[in-house]
Amino acid sequence: MAEPTTVSISTGLAERIRKHGAETYPHECCGALLGRDPDSGGGKRLREVLDCLPLANRREDSPNNRFSIAPLDVIEADRVAQARGIELIGWYHSHPDHPAKPSEYDRNHAWPWFSYIIVSVRAGVPEEMTSWRLNDDRSAYAQETVEIHSEATAQS
Amino acid sequence: MSVKVMIPTPLRPHAGGKADAEFQAKTVAEALAHLTAQYADLRKHLFTDDGSLRSFINVYVNGEDIRYLAQENTPTKDGDTIKIIPSIAGGGAACPAKRHSVGKPLRS
Q: What is the pLDDT of residue B108?
A: 35
> Is A45 in the B-facing interface, judged by CB distances under 8 Å?
no
Record: contact B100-A26, CB cut-off 8 A: yes
pLDDT-derived band at A102, boundaries 50, 70, 90? very high
Within 5-44 of B, beta carbons closer than 8 Å to A belong to: 9-10, 12-13
Q: Which amino acid is it at A105?
A: Y
A119: left (phi over 0), alpha (psi -120 to 50) or beta: beta
Q: Which amino acid is it at A156?
A: S
Record: contact A67-B90, CB cut-off 8 A: yes
Query: Can you count the helices (H) and strands (E) in chain A?
Result: 3, 8
Mean pLDDT of A118-136: 95
pLDDT digits (tens, 9 = 90+) for B36-91: 999 999 998 899 889 999 888 999 999 999 999 999 999 999 999 999 999 999 99
Q: What is the pLDDT of residue A137?
A: 76
Pick from B9, B60, B106: CB nearest A88:
B9
Range of the domain at A38: 5-153
CA A154 – CA A107 distance, rounded (Å): 30
Instruction: Tell me: ipTM over 0.95.
Output: no
Residue B56 within any structural domain of the chain: yes
B33: left (phi over 0), alpha (psi -120 to 50) or beta: alpha
Q: What is the pLDDT of residue B106?
A: 41
Residue B75 within any structural domain of the chain: yes
Mean pLDDT of A54-59: 96
Residue B105 within any structural domain of the chain: no
What stretches of B5-50 show up as alpha helix (H) in DSSP? Answer: 28-38, 43-46
Mean pLDDT of B11-33: 94
Tell me if the bond preceding B13 is cis, omega within 30° of 0.
no
pLDDT digits (tens, 9 = 90+) for B91-104: 987 655 444 444 44
Q: Is a pLDDT exceeding 80 seen at residue A25?
A: yes
Mean pLDDT of A92-108: 94
When computed from its CA atoms, the radius of gyration of chain A, rounded to whole angstroms, is 15
Q: What is the pLDDT of residue A74?
A: 95
Please give the residue of chain A at the shortest CA–CA distance from B44.
A137
Q: What is the pLDDT of residue B102?
A: 45
Q: Is a pLDDT exceeding 50 seen at residue A78?
A: yes
Per the structure, the count of domains in chain B is 1
Range of the domain at B12: 2-86
- What percent of chain B is helix, strand and coil (3-state, nearest 5)? 30, 30, 45
CA A146 – CA A101 distance, rounded (Å): 13
CA-nearest of A19, A143, A66 to B87 is: A66
Q: What is the pLDDT of residue B104?
A: 43
Mean pLDDT of A69-98: 95
CATH number for the domain that contains residue A72: 3.40.140.10
pLDDT-derived band at A153, boundaries 50, 70, 90? low
Question: How do beta strands A115-122 and A125-134 pair?
Answer: antiparallel
Pick from A97, A105, A124: CB nearest B90:
A105
CA B3 – CA B76 distance, rounded (Å): 7
CATH number for the domain that contains residue B36: 3.10.20.30
Per the structure, the count of domains in chain A is 1
Q: What is the pLDDT of residue A2?
A: 52
Where are the strands (E) in chain B, listed by range?
2-6, 20-24, 57-61, 64-65, 81-86, 88-90
Mean pLDDT of A42-47: 70
Identify whether the C-beta of residue A134 lies closer than 8 Å to the C-beta of residue A2.
Answer: yes
Backbone angles phi, psi at B35, to 5 degrees: -60, -45
Pick from B9, B89, B107: CB nearest A109:
B89
